[in-house]
Every structure is written in C-alpha cells, then in structure tokens.
Structure 1
C-alpha cells in the first residue's frame, strides 16, 4: 500500500487506502492486564495502561482518510476527527479523543466480521450489513444507547468513557443487530430484557473470538473496564452471563436486571454447543422474533432454530438451557 501511494498523485493515493493500522484496547485494559485496581483518572494515559494497547488493522475503510467505511461511520463532538497520516492512523492513546473514535470503528467492524465468520451474508441471511453512525462523546452521562429511528449508536462519556471498552461498543451493536433483523425490536419488558441480554452475550462472544478467551478475568464478566466507575466489588462487572436468576421469581421489572435470566440461558447453550454453533442458532432465531416477543416464544424460536440448523441434540441442549431458567416447561 505504501509503495502504491508513492506512485500515485496525492489525491489518488489517499483514496486508495481501504485498510490502515491503528491503536486500540483489545478488548479493554482490565481484561488485557488482569488488573482490578485500574481507574479512569480523568482519561490520563498512566504508565500502567501501556501494555494494554494493541496495534491492529482497520479494514473496510471507504478511502476518504477518515473513520468511515462499509459498516460504520464515526462521528464525534470532541476533538479533531481521526484522519490518516502517512497511510496509517497515529498511535493515539486514551488521553486523545481520537483513540475512542478508532475504538468505535474497529470494534463495530470486528463485530460484523464475527457475524460473517458464522456464515451470515454467505450461507445464511445477512445480518446488519448496513452502515451505521457511531456517535462518540455526544452524551455526557454514563450511558450508551441505540436510536432505532435513525439506526445510530451513541456512546456516552461519563465515568470511563464508554468507547474505551470494546464490550460496551459491541453490546450496543447487538441492539443494532436485533433492530436490523426485527425493526423496532424490544417494545415490552420481556423483549427489552432479551435485547439487553443478547447485547451482553454478543459482547463476550465477539471479544473472545477477536482477542482470545480471557485468562486473567472471568469470560462471563461483561464490560469489566467501563464498570470500574460504578462497582465496588471485584471483579468489576457491568453484568455477568453466568448468574443464577430464574423465571418468574427473579423478575424485577427492569430490562437489564431481567435480561440476566435470558443471557444465562444463552451462556449455557454456548457452553453446551461451542461458540460457533450456539451464536449461529441464537442469531438465526432472532429473524423469527417480533418486537414484543415473550421469553417463552423467543425460547421456542431458538429451540426451533437449533433443530433446523443442527438437529435434535442441539435442540435438546437449547431446550435444557431455557428449562433450567424457567423459560420453558
């Protein structure tokens, strides 16, 4: 790519760059370093973060020299927009706004590549193969969300900035995935809880696929860097996939809390069948969901997808996982 750039006029060389190196957390410093004592320190690039940075390749860029590509375009309200320099993105760290912009682009694209790795878009129907807008640091609270009406994701900047943790980014992309499969998904308590649970599950599945199953922190712990700002117990976890909640007695009427019932069932399916089969059938089942689907109906659809894709043994594993949570008889 560098040799090509040397032979072309400046404008043509710039447009030719559709992949470029950049620096990210993979997936976050708590997982990478196994340190539960890290703190945000107002975005300071302290020496303890040094070993958590990774140089990666951003793919599917549109050649504009900015963080815009086939699956995501990054928009940020703080700092200058990240732009290529000499065919690569500079080695920004967490004290630079551009670092979070790069994180957003890399992890949304990685999540889409994960889905394609499972066969979505080739042997199976495509899933969310659209360009979404990713808005970074445009919300001052410690929260992130999908706007279904505009199909864009906003990542907040309260506490640890959400775009510093890959699992927060991919969680929100999980909402985009479901909205792409079923427009307006999540209109009731139970369907909303399914949405939060799937986002947590996808966050762990994608980051483990991309960077390896963590060995220094529990894999089932979600967003263990972002959560240092609001949790006192260690390991720090936004939520976990391996909880013990059971339906209906543990329902409290809040989608994130109730989602832990569904996410544990997904976790058990993954444990029984392995990541590839489990996530494939879980995502494929969502094409049969409705915006207001119940736990029970979604569980039946997931068992049906397991049967259709992998046969009776997989269907039985899925059924057993939902039965253990009280979601199927």
Structure 2
C-alpha cells in the first residue's frame, strides 16, 4: 500500500513536506554506439552499371571490389553485435558478426556476415529516412520498434515479413537477398505498414498496395542514402537480386510501368502492385521525394487492413490536401486517375 507523505502543520497553518521526493533520473539511452562496416550501396549492378554480373555461388570476384563501401552503423547497443534500436540481426548460417574496437571486419560477399551487416545498415537507413521526413518529430512516429531480421533463414529465392512475429526473413536462393539493399528495404516496407495498421494486407488489393509500397520505399531509400543512380534506371527495383531470374536490363519490378486498373488486374499481388506503384512514382515525380513520401506514408495511417485501391487513393488525396494544400491534392488525384483508380 502507498505510504502517505509526512506533513507538519506550522503555527500559521501552512503545510510543508517533511522530505522532498528525490528528482527522477532519466534512463540512459542504450543505443548510442556506432561501428564501421562494409556494404553494397545499394547493390553492385547499380553502382557499377554492369548487367553481366552473376552470383557465381557467392564468389568474391575482383569485379565486385569497386562496389564495396565503408559505412557507419548507428544506433547500436554497444555489445559488439548487430543489435540496435530498430533491428537485431539473427543469422541462420555462419557465426554472428562481431565488432572489435568500433569496427566490424571488412566482410565481403563470400562471407555470411556481409549480409548481416547489410541487413542492419539498410533497415536502420530506412528508418532514418522515414524520420528525416518528420515522422517521430513533427509527425507521429512510424514503426520505431526493434524488429528481428533473419539472414539466410529461407532456402528459396524469396524474402518475407511475418506480421505474427514482426520479423523479416531474407532468402538465399540465387543472389542472396541480403546482398541487395532494395530487397531488404522492400521487406521493411511491409513492417512499416504493419506498424501503422496491424495486420495490413488481408485482401488482393491491399496486398498489392503492400507490395507496391515496398518497391517504392526501396527506391526512395536507396536514392536518398546513395544518390540517384546514373548507371541504371532509378525506377528499376532490385537490379542485383533479379540477375538470377530476369534478362538484362535486370529489374525485379519497375515503378514506371503502364498498367491500368481494372484491365490489367491479374489477381497476383506483385503484378497488380505495379498499378499502385506507378501512381506513387507519378506523385513523387510531381511533388518531389520529400513531400511525396511524407504524404504517402502519412496516408497509410488511415488505411484499413483490407483497404481497396479506391479507398486508399482517397485517403492519400486527403493526406496531400491536409499537409500541402489543394495543388498537391490535385497532383495526387491526377496520378491515381491516370491509373484508373479514381
């Protein structure tokens, strides 16, 4: 039972506390450590402009040497592991990467630890991009939770987000998915939407919106972090990972296709997502990256888990009007109308 503070009555009737409560001490932030690491930024096809690159069973061939970059990993917990404010890395193969003296070894793609460092760096970069737009500051936070990132946990050429466990698994078929930043960030896009609308993506159209937003975020983050690519098309998603299953020029999907609703709907979320992602791409082209990404992400708070294209488009128009006025809302309306969504 709480104890009643002791008080003393003075002769004048004033009450004074016998003992003042000790001032509260703020807990120390456990995620302030940094360390250097080696990554692709965002992937060797974009960086080198070589459409002839192949996986070669993870061989660290000399052709890859110019694509490695030394970066600073932020928001770490100081344990020497890849554990931080927004992500903790778990590897299914190989020993866990460890830092010594504030630096991870300069792992290359022939080492499992390279993908661990890639995963940590690019999930953190994606969250920092979102915060750079004002989320968590002037706007409400978006997905500022620590997620688990599982490296090489799936043997096929696929990666996925599990909303029941709030974790991401990166596959190792073909080019290991952890070697391409745009695959990593795409999957983080699913985590973002789930953080905003738990259980998002329960229908064909909402699932397509999820795939489209993941593609859009992948391109937006990689261009923000490394600059707009000059050797490949910016609208091309996952140039490196897709070398295992596409012809040159390699793209997992594109953001600038010409699909139209409902004629081009085929009932497969990745394919149908290209209708939605083209609208997002046109919004970005019209309003610039910062305003477009801000309103696109802000609008998602108003989505339902089973939202339709039309309802989500209307919410996006409303977010544009609320944040930037009628001209921005008009540009967003035009983008969705061009796709047949509005």
What is the TM-score of this pair, normalised by structure 1? 0.94
The 5 A counterparts of 1:154-233 are: 154-232=169-247
| Structure 2 unaligned spans of 5+ | 1-29
1:17/1:65 contact within 8 Å kept: no
C-alpha distance in 1 between matches for 2:205 and 2:317: 18
2:264 equivalent to 1:250: yes
Equivalent residue number for residue 12 of structure 1: none
**Where in structure 2 are the equivalents of 1:89-100 lying within 5 Å?**
89-100=104-115
> How large is the Cα RMSD of the aligned pairs?
0.9
After superposing on structure 2, the runs of 4+ consecutive aligned residues of structure 1 that deviate more than 6 Å are: none
Report if the CA contact (8 A) 1:17-1:87 is conserved: no
CA shift at 1:77, angstroms?
Answer: 1.0
Separation of aligned partners in 2, 1:226 and 1:190: 26
SS in structure 2 of the partner of residue 60 of structure 1: strand
- TM normalised by structure 2 equals 0.91
Q: 1:88 to 1:16 in 2, by over 3 A?
A: farther
Q: Map 1:47-86 onto structure 2 (within 5 A).
A: 47-86=62-101
SS where residue 290 of structure 2 aligns? helix
State the partner residue of 2:155: 140
Tell me how far apart the structure 2 counterparts of residues 16 and 264 of structure 1 sit (CA, whole Å): 37
1:29 aligns with 2:29: no
- Kindly indicate whether residue 57 of structure 2 is the aligned counterpart of residue 46 of structure 1: no
What is the 5 A alignment of 1:102-141? 102-141=117-156
Q: How far 1:16 sits from its partner (Å)? A: 9.6
After superposition, give the CA deviation of every residue in 1:202-244 in whole Å (9 maximum; x if it has no partner): 0000000000000000000000000000002x21000000000
Task: Work out whether residues 269 and 318 of structure 1, in 8 Å CA contact, stay in contact via their aligned partners in 2.
Answer: yes
What residue is the counterpart of 1:259 in the other structure? 273
Change (3 A) 1:205 1:16: closer
How far apart are 1:134 and its partner, in Å? 0.1
Measure how far apart 1:87 and its partner are.
2.0
Out of 251, 254, 257, which is 1:240 matched to? 254
Structure 1 residues 16 and 264: CA distance shift in structure 2, 3 A = closer
Q: Which has the higher helix share?
A: 1
Q: Which runs of 5+ in 1 are unaligned?
A: 1-14
